[in-house]
């Protein structure tokens, strides 16, 4: 028979210097597969791509994730799968491995997929961007040459765009692409030499011609993002960050971050506010990249993909099933203990081994988003999640005593002790 334990609020002295909302809360992905990218088509609907296995989809802003068995991906960790949805139903993904590059389209939220790869026998990597359901671009880079295509019919047919240049061959570059509208876009990578100079190519006529900007030595580009038509940012693999405020005519060197991965990613929610992920690190700027502050991801896993639905709500994915969420731009908010009637919190089953269900069953803030943090006896963070009225956690805690804090709207609503006893 399943026992139900009411957690008692005990007068305990926690080994925690202060209470605060977590910057990034770990979500329950239901898998240990590593993710390479994430995309939200609206506030609640999002998709994340593993390197290997089925696509995951959420319909409730990451409260839960469903596995879509309609398409199983297989890709090397060196080649991120890419994703782009133009609305909740209509989207595109690419999958890479050294000898088999594919581009797929769905019209029904991922229930079925159609192969719309622009050409046969592609290798290396492919980047793409769709501006709407019809208009899109695809760019393929390999050790042999670079190729580009444009479609005006959702990928049913493709027009080949001769480039006349190659980015990154022999320089360990992972070139990238970004289009700001249906005719203006950028392709960025390396100059193909071992001087490792960064190159930004720009077109304003749908790829008929490209202008070129060469960045300094040791600045091979791996990520590019434009929050608006004039302002853009690129990251080089050695941590250099460059910005433009004149639509790519010139690029200024900003501060250098201690990046620890060639696969670093940049994402800006506005011209001034942006994020960089690299390895297991998160950085944020609020002044257009002049200065950066690090944020605690709450995990040691490598982080690989980032997406924000607005200025405050964002998601990061990474290795071993990692999905992180923030509702406040990743900024920690201090909680102030107050004297209020505690929420009634139910935890079951007891004993718990892998799955723990936590439910807020009464009180003024029942059904409102809460922040749950669990520490071990050494004061080390072992779990942090966002929950509303109920959440089921996939946990693997060793036997022992743990302390929890529940916060809501800047207040400590409850704190106490949990005893975990696993019969194995």
Beta strands in 41-193 (DSSP E): 46-50, 52-58, 66-74, 82-85, 91-95, 102-106, 114-115, 125-130, 136-141, 146-151, 159-161, 176-179, 185-190
This prediction's pTM:
0.74
Q: What is the pLDDT of residue 338?
A: 39
Domain assignment present for 27:
no
- Name the more confident of 79 and 398: 398
My answer on whether 246 and 337 are in the same domain is no
Same domain flag for 181 and 274: yes
Summarised one tens digit per residue, pLDDT across range 287-328 is 999 889 999 898 999 999 999 999 989 999 999 999 999 988
Decide if pLDDT at 269 tops 70. Answer: yes
Q: Do both 165 and 186 map to the same domain?
A: yes
What is the model's pLDDT at position 368? 61
pLDDT of 55 over the 70 cut: yes
What pLDDT digit, counting tens, does each position of 95-112 carry? Answer: 876 567 889 999 999 999
Predicted local confidence at residue 365, as pLDDT: 53
Which has more pLDDT, 128 or 173?
128
The pLDDT of 218-222, averaged and rounded, is: 77
Compute the mean pLDDT over every residue in the chain, rounded to the nearest whole number: 79
The least confident of 10-19, 335-344, 401-410 is: 10-19
For residue 122, is pLDDT > 50?
A: yes
Count Cβ neighbours within 10 Å for each residue of 261-271 and write b for 16 or more, e otherwise: bebbbbbbbeb
Residue 189 has pLDDT above 80, yes or no: yes
Residue 364 pLDDT: 58
Q: How many domains does the chain have?
A: 2
What pLDDT, on the 0 to 100 scale, is given for residue 199?
Answer: 86
> DSSP string of 336-396?
EE---PPPPEEEEEES-SSEEEEEE-SSTTTTS-EEEEEE-TTS-EEEEEEESSEEEEE--
| pLDDT recorded at residue 225 | 94
The CATH number of whichever domain residue 173 belongs to comes to: 2.130.10.10
Q: Read off the pLDDT band of 14 (50, 70, 90).
A: very low
Q: Phi/psi zone of residue 148: left (φ > 0), alpha (ψ -120 to 50 degrees), beta? A: beta
**Pair 387, 406: CB distance under 8 Å:** no
Quote the domain boundaries for residue 362: 3-22+333-420
User: Quick one: 83 and 211 in the same domain?
Assistant: yes
* Domain co-membership, 360 together with 236: no
């Amino acid at each position: 028979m399943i026992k139900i334990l009411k957690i008692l609020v005990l007068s305990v002295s926690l080994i925690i210097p202060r209470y605060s909302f977590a910057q990034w809360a770990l979500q329950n992905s239901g898998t240990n597969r590593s993710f390479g990218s994430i995309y939200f088509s609206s506030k609640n609907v999002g998709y994340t791509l593993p390197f290997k296995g089925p696509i995951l989809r959420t319909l409730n802003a990451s409260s839960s994730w469903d596995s879509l068995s309609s398409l199983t991906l297989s890709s090397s960790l060196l080649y991120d799968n890419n994703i782009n949805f133009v609305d909740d139903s209509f989207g595109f993904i690419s999958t890479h491995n050294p000898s088999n590059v594919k581009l797929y389209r769905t019209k029904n939220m991922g229930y079925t997929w159609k192969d719309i790869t622009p050409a046969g026998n592609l290798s290396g990597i492919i980047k793409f961007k769709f501006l709407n359901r019809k208009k899109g671009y695809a760019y393929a880079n390999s050790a042999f040459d670079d190729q580009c295509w444009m479609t005006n019919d959702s990928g049913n047919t493709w027009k080949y765009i001769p480039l006349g240049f190659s980015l990154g061959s022999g320089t360990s570059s992972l070139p990238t692409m970004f289009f700001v509208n249906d005719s203006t876009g950028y392709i960025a990578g390396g100059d193909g030499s071992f001087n490792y100079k960064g190159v930004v190519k720009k077109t304003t006529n749908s790829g008929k011609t490209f202008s070129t900007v060469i960045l300094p030595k040791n600045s091979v580009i791996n990520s590019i993002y434009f929050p608006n038509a004039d302002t853009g940012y690129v990251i080089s693999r050695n941590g250099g960050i460059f910005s433009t405020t004149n639509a790519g005519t010139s690029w200024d060197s900003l501060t250098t971050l201690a990046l620890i991965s060639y696969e670093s990613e940049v994402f800006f929610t506005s011209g001034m506010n942006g994020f960089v992920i690299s390895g297991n690190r998160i950085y944020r700027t609020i002044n257009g990249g002049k200065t950066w502050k690090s944020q605690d991801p709450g995990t040691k896993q490598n982080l690989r993909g980032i997406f924000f639905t607005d200025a405050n709500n964002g998601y990061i994915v990474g290795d071993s099933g990692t999905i992180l969420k923030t509702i406040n731009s990743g900024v920690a908010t201090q909680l102030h203990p107050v004297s209020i009637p505690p929420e009634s919190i139910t935890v079951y089953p007891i004993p718990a081994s892998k799955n723990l269900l936590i439910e807020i069953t009464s009180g003024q803030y029942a059904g409102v988003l809460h922040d749950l943090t669990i520490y071990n006896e050494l004061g080390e963070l072992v779990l942090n999640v966002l929950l509303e009225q109920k959440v089921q956690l996939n946990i693997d805690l060793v036997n022992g005593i743990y302390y929890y804090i529940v916060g809501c709207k800047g207040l400590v609503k409850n704190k106490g002790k949990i005893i975990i006893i696993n019969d194995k």
